[in-house]
Amino acid sequence: MEKYFQESIECASRDEIIAIQNEKLVKQVRHVWDNVPYYRKKMEAKGVTPDDIKSIDDLHKLPFLSKKDLREAYPYGLVGVPLKDCVRIQSTSGTTGKRVVAFYNQHDIDLWEDCCARAIVAAGGSNEDVCQISYGYGLFTGGPGLNGGSHKVGCLTVPTSSGNTDRQIMFIQDLQSTIICCTPSYAAFLGERMKEMGYGPDDIPLKAGIFGAEAWSEEMRRDIQNTMGIKAYDIYGLTELSGPGVAFECSAQKGMHINEDHFIAEIIDPETEEVLPEGSQGELVFTAIDKEAFPMIRYRTRDICRLTREKCSCGRTHVRMAKPMGRSDDMLIIRGVNVFPSQIETVLLNHGYAANYQIIVDRKNNSDTLDVQVEMTPEMFTDNVGEIAENQKQLVDGLKSMLGIKAKVTLVAPKSIARSEGKAVRVIDKRKI
C-alpha cells in the first residue's frame, strides 16, 4: 500500500491545491514587494504592483528571475528577511558561472526537509529503514537536505557523504542500509564496485535508491536497479529553490510529483518567454510561494522538460514533471543540430555499455566535431581490432539515427574514464575553452 509523509496535502484535490496556491502567491508577492527592493524594481519596470496579483491566473504578469539576476544581486540582494533571522546558506558548485548562494530561515529549512521526507516515504522509507546519505555534505544541498528529510521520517540516518567508495560499501553491508541517496552516476559506480567485490543483487541489503542532481536516462535506471537489486527513484531540485525535493518520484516511477503547495511550475518557450500549454516541452519556471529568506518568483531554471496532470496510480495529485532532458545550457549545438548528452547516453546504454563515457566537442576546419569515448565493459573487453571496429560502427549508426548527425566513436578500455562521486562531468566542449 502506498504510504505518504503528508497525505492530506500530497493527495489534496485540485481545488484545494489551487486555493492554497492562490493564497500563498498573493502573500508572497506582497512579501517580496515590501522586502526585496531588487525584485520590486523589476515589478515596477513591468508596471505591476501587488494589487494586480489576485490569484495564480495573474502569475504571468510578474517578471522572471534568472541566473543573471542572482549574479547581479549576489550575495545579499535577494534576501527577503533580516539576516539575523537566517540560519543557513547553501551554495551551488558554480560550474556554469558564479556560485549561487541561497539563504534559509528556520521555516524554510523545515519546509525543505518536509519535501525530502515526502520523497523518502514515496520511495518506501519509514522509521524501520537505515538510510545512507551519500550525497556530498557541506555547501551542496544534496547531503543536508536528505539528511533532514531522513530525520523527519525517523530513519536511522547514516551520513557518509560522498566518496570513499569501499567505506560506503562496508557501511551498506555492516549496517544493512536499506535506502541509499546519491547521484545516479555515483550509484552506478557503487554498483560496479560491489559487483567487482562479488556482491550480486541478492547480497545487497538496499531496497531503494533516491537519485538525482543530474540528468539520467531510463536505461541507466534499469542498469542500476538490476545491479543492486533495488528500485531507483528520481529526485529533482535546485539550490535556488531550497535543494533536493522540489519534485520526487513515487512507486509508479513515471515522472516526479512537484510539491505544489510550495512551488508553482510553469513551462515557457525559452526564446519568446511565452507560457506553453500543458504537455509542451519547454523551460521549467518555478515560483516558490512559501520560502521567506530567499523568495524566488518565476525563476527560470533552464531545465528543459514537460509537465503532466494525468492521474497517477500512487494517489498523489500534484503535477508531475518528466525527467529533464538536461539544462538548456547543457544542450550542444553541433553543426546546427541540437544534441542533449542524455540522448547519447540512451544510445550507449541500449547497446549494452555502462554509463562511463565522455563527449568531446571541438571545431576543426570550420566544422564542429563530436567524439564520443565509451568504455567497453569488462565482459566485452577485447583487443581484437576487427571486433572493436565493428562495435564502434554499430554505435556510430545508433547515434546517427538518434541525433541525425555523424559522431566519431572511440571504444576505450574498462576503467579508463574517471568515475564521479557527485555530479558527473560528461561533456568537454573545447570550442568554449
Tell how strand 179-182 and strand 130-133 pair up: parallel
Does residue 248 bind ligand DLL (CB under 6 A)?
no
Does residue 327 bind ligand DLL (CB under 6 A)?
yes
Q: At what angle do helices 218-228 and 341-350 cross, to 10 degrees?
A: 50
Q: Can you tell me which of 147, 217, 239, 251 binds ligand DLL, judged by CB under 6 A?
A: 239
Does residue 150 bind ligand DLL (CB under 6 A)?
no
Phi and psi dihedrals of 350, rounded to 5? -70, -20
Element (H, E) at 21: helix 14-35
Spatial contact of 370 and 361, defined as CB atoms under 8 Å apart: yes
- β partners of residue 369: 362
Q: Can you tell me which of 303, 345, 375, 421 binds ligand DLL, judged by CB under 6 A?
A: 303
Interface region with ligand DLL, contact rule CB under 6 A, candidates 78-86, 268-276, 319-327, 411-419: 319-327
Q: Of 124 and 149, which has the nearer Cβ to ligand DLL?
A: 149
Tell how strand 282-288 and strand 263-268 pair up: antiparallel
Spatial contact of 251 and 122, defined as CB atoms under 8 Å apart: yes
Binding-site size for ligand DLL (CB under 6 A) equals 21
**Strands (DSSP E) found in 297-432:** 299-305, 307-308, 320-321, 332-334, 337-339, 357-364, 367-375, 408-412, 427-429
- Write down the residue that cell numbers 542498469 correspond to: 223
Binding mask 257-296 for ligand DLL (x = CB under 6 A): ----------------------------------------
Interface region with ligand DLL, contact rule CB under 6 A, candidates 24-32, 69-77, 189-197, 321-329: 321-329
Interface region with ligand DLL, contact rule CB under 6 A, candidates 170-178, 196-204, 229-237, 410-418: 229-237
Q: Of 391 and 420, which has the nearer Cβ to ligand DLL?
A: 420
- Write down the residue that cell numbers 514533471 correspond to: 321
Q: Of 323 and 411, which has the nearer Cβ to ligand DLL?
A: 323
Does residue 213 bind ligand DLL (CB under 6 A)?
yes
Does residue 212 bind ligand DLL (CB under 6 A)?
yes
Alpha helices in 229-305 (DSSP H): none
- The residue ranges that bind ligand DLL (CB under 6 A) are 92, 135, 141-142, 212-215, 234-239, 243-244, 301, 303, 323-324, 327
